[in-house]
Amino acid sequence: MKPVMLLTRILAPAIALALASAGLHADDPFAPLRDAMVREIANLSSVTRDETGRVEFAAPVMAAMAKVPRHRFVPPDEVPYAYENRPLPIGYGQTISQPYIVALMTDLTQVGPGDVVLEIGTGSGYQAAILAELAQAVYTMEIIEPLAVQAGERLGRLGYAKVQARLGDGYHGWPEHGPYDAILVTAAASHVPPPLIAQLKVGGRMVIPVGAPFMIQYLLLIEKAGDGSVSTRQVLPVRFVPLVGGG
């Protein structure tokens, strides 16, 4: 449920390079590619610092990006491209996000070890896995049933016990487990869903792309103050597939 590539600078190492480095990473031949991806993200965070306000992303976020095996979250024919800095198709008209965007959105939420997080738009489960490296618990919702089933099974196989996935309309959130310290939405809404604002904890942060389908949207950072009021900051132009459901 992920953005079309925002930045055109692409990391395109060959899988053969990873295999050649297997002596250094015998247990994970993809590790060199993942390390290179993280370096690319670090470079891009510096390039976009004027827009995002972030010169560099938090060390725990970068560590999560270096750890989670993105190649396990893409279809077999996309595995050779898993560590390129671009979105990839995962079926049903959806994509796995560009790694830079995953890192940026995660960084903006400022998720910490005691936090409970809601993700809207599970997709492949990759973003939920990144969040699980940082948070106490992650609740993630997907409206496309085959993706919801696949992601839940995948996250279970990979040992992400902190993640609970369900099929449902993310526009209305998951109030049973709220309020949430952070809410991350991975599809573009025409407006910020009021139910999600209601489920955001005081002091919490929501990151959501807002705008017309298949046009340039804006990534918004929303923060809830102690009196229940919210502030909104426009972070970066992006392009996401539309949020399905709601109304």
Q: What are the strands, taking DSSP E only, across the chain?
A: 88-91, 94-96, 116-120, 137-142, 163-167, 180-185, 200-210, 217-224, 230-238
Q: Which of 120, 219, 115, 116 is nearest to 173 (CA)?
A: 120
Buried/exposed code over 60-96 (b: 16+ C-beta within 10 A; e: otherwise)? ebbebbeebebbbbbeeebebbbbbbbbbebeeebbb
List residues with catalytic annotation.
97
Euclidean distance between CA atoms 164 and 77, whole angstroms: 27
